[in-house]
Structure 1
Amino acid sequence: MHEYQQPPHHGYGAYQPQFHPPYTPPRPGPPDEALPNPAVRLGARIVDILIIVVGGGPIAFTVGMTMMGLTENNDAGGVAMAIVFFGSMALYEPIMTHAYGGTFGKRICGLRVARVSDGQNLSLGGAFGRWAVYQFIGLVPLGGLINALSCLWDKPLRQCIHDKAASSVVVKRRWGITANHL
Structure 2
Amino acid sequence: MSEYQYNPYQQAPNPYAYAAPPPPYYPPPGYYPMPGPPPYALAEQGMRLAARILDGVFVFVVTGLTGLVLALATLLGAGGGDTHGTEGWVFAAGGLLGFLLYEPLMNWHYGATLGKRICGLRVARLRDGENLSFGAALGRWAFYLVLAFIVPLGGLINALSCLWDKPFQQCFHDKVANSVVVKRDLAHVSPASGEFGHSG
TM score, norm. by length of structure 2 = 0.70
Q: Quick check: 1:102–1:111 contact (8 Å CA) kept in 2? A: yes
Post-superposition CA distance 1:8-59 (Å, at most 9, x none): xxxxxxxxxxxxxxxx864321111011111100111111111121233244
Q: CA deviation at 1:123?
A: 0.7
> Partner of 2:54: helix, strand, or coil?
helix
Which consecutive segments of 4 or more residues in structure 1 shift more than 6 A? none
How many residues are treated as equivalent by the alignment?
157
User: Of 155, 160, 163, which aligns to 1:152?
Assistant: 163
Cα RMSD for the two superposed structures: 2.3
8 Å CA contact 1:121, 1:177 repeated in 2: no
Note closer, same or farther for the CA distance 1:70–1:108 as it changes in structure 2 (3 Å cut). Answer: farther
Whichever structure has more helix as a proportion of its residues is 1
1:87 maps to which of 94, 97, 106: 97
Q: Secondary structure at the match of 2:169?
A: coil
Alignment partners' CA distance in 2, 1:37 and 1:96: 20
Q: Is the 8 A contact 1:113 1:169 kept in 2?
A: yes
* Structure 1 Cα separation of the partners of residues 44 and 63 of structure 2: 28
Determine the C-alpha separation between the residues in 2 that align with 1:178 and 1:126: 22
For the pair 1:102 / 2:112, whether they are aligned, the reply is yes
- Output the CA distance in 2 between the equivalents of 1:176 and 1:145: 27
Q: What is the rounded CA distance, in whole Å, between the counterparts of 1:70 and 1:160 in structure 2? A: 48
Partners of 2:55 and 2:115 within 8 A in 1: yes
Output the amino acid matched with 1:130: R
Structure 1: gaps of 5 or more residues: 1-23
Change in 2 beyond 3 A, CA 1:98/1:178:
farther
CA change 1:126–1:178 in 2 (3 A) is farther
Segment drifting more, 133-142 vs 108-117: 133-142
1:81 to 1:40, Cα distance in 2 relative to 1, 3 A: same
Q: Say if 2:63 and 2:97, in contact at 8 Å, map to a contact too.
A: no
The 5 Å alignment of 1:125-144 reads 125-139=135-149, 140-144=151-155
Q: Pairwise mapping of residues 24-43 of structure 1 onto structure 2 (< 5 A)?
A: 26-43=33-50
Aligned-partner Cα distance in 1 for 2:89–2:188: 40
Listed as ranges, the matches of 1:3-14 within 5 Å are none
Q: Distance in 2 between matches of 1:110 and 1:70?
A: 48
* Compared CA separation, residues 138 and 70, structure 1 to 2 (3 A): farther
Task: Give, in whole Å, the separation in 2 of the partners of 1:70 and 1:58.
Answer: 23
Q: Which moved more, 1:149-158 or 1:53-62?
A: 53-62
Quote the Cα distance in structure 2 between the aligned partners of 1:66 and 1:98.
28
Between the aligned partners of 2:163 and 2:82, the Cα distance in structure 1 is 50
1:92 Cα deviation after fit:
1.4
Residue of structure 2 aligned with 1:173, choices 180, 184, 189: 184
SS at match of 1:29: coil
Distance 1:138 1:78, change over 3 A: farther
- Point out where structure 2 has 5 or more consecutive residues left out of the alignment: 1-30, 76-80
Of all paired residues, the percent bearing the same amino acid is 50
Q: CA deviation at 1:83?
A: 1.3
